[in-house]
Structure 1
Amino acid sequence: MENVAERFQHIRSQIRHAIGIAGRPRDSVQLLAVSKTKPATDIAALYRLGQRHFAENYLQEALAKQQHLAAFNITWHFIGPIQSNKTKPIAGHFDWVHSVDRLKIAQRLGEQRPAHLPPLNICLQVNISGEASKSGVSLDELPELVQAVRALPGLRLRGVMAIPEPETSYPKQRQPYRQLYQAVGQLNDPTLDSFSFGMSGDLKAAIMEGATMVRIGTALFGERL
């Protein structure tokens, strides 16, 4: 069985290979290690191998890990659903939030971002496949939300996040990412430079279509408990 170092090197190799095929700069894609349900010791092990960006889905679990790993220079990303009563601790303890799907949540995050911290980097979650079971705005709603969120204090709107309906066909994997990337391009806003696209099953397709961050969990840490 592969250990964490072998898995880490394998994923990094996959990312480099996809970047090369896409003809993109070597440092154009950031690996986000999705560490939900994994102990702080696993995060520390990956950190020692050079990983700095970690993503969490569950707030209370994440806060406990952050306290345990306070001495580590980790960039923390929140990627889970956001309830209104959880915005204050998210605003105060994360560097990035990828799952902003409505104006109310963005407003609360901005208002509750501590003044001593830099603006909170956020991505707007887009329900690119139109699945009823998933959060996110539609492509039609995206321009209005971008315009509203861009004006909020305490935030730095960076781009979009998407979790398309799973597909095994490579061309079908690429299609929703291409559609969203083009939709963002049509907004003519150079500050929207971040595309949180892709997981282990569609990593190559996401990078081919403009991903700047790929979210990898099980392929890095092993099966979840």
Structure 2
Amino acid sequence: MTAATTEEFVDDRLAKRNALLLALAQALGGASASIVIATGPLVGYMMLESDKSLATLPVSAMVLGTAFGTIPAGMFMRRYGRRAGFTGAAFLGVLSGLLASYSVFVDQFMLFSLACCMGGFAGAFVQQYRFAAADTASDAFKPKAISWVLAGGVLAGIVGPQTVIATKDMFAPILFAGTYLAQAGLAFIALFLLAFIRIPKPPRQSHAQAGGRPLRQIMAQPRFIVAAACGISSYALMSLVM
């Protein structure tokens, strides 16, 4: 098993199954970000009594949570496998939704921000779905597998706002408490779906065996700088439009 390579795990039939499950999970788990972006500042504004300048802190907390979770997500899944990482993160998403709903009920702004940060950390694992979809795919099917998951992300942009519209008055006059309870429900359904993915864990390789370049060398490349700048500006623009 130590001599195994990722080519031994190529199975397009399995890859299609995984890609479909991951696309559905993306539509549900990815909706969390759009829910927080759409309602987080409103909830913060309602909770803060005097200084309203921190109303957007929950959204910032979510983004920071995702940033802080990106590298640990990769390290965790390299050690324990994709399914363990994804299901664990989905469970964290359930907890973050429940905590956010509770904090709205008890009117605790910092607790709500913490819940959004937890949701962002779980979202770092969601960002890995597209790469996981290609793990067992052949070179010919990899672009399609990734596209399926990205299509699930487009659906997430619809599921999130529609969830807000359907649940914002569930516990009126306490606005959005039901929304975050529904967010926990979406994460729970995603957790159920992710339990059925099957992605064999490849053997761990040293840097010499993998043949990869040091991160510092990659970040020094002009192409990387341009790609990172485009990613930062486009994500900021998307958040502004939403």
Calculate the TM-score normalised by the size of structure 1: 0.26
Which of the two has greater helix per residue?
A: 2
Which structure is higher in RCO with an 8 Å CA cutoff and minimum separation 6? 2
Which of the two has greater strand per residue?
A: 1
Give 1 or 2 for the bigger CA radius of gyration: 2
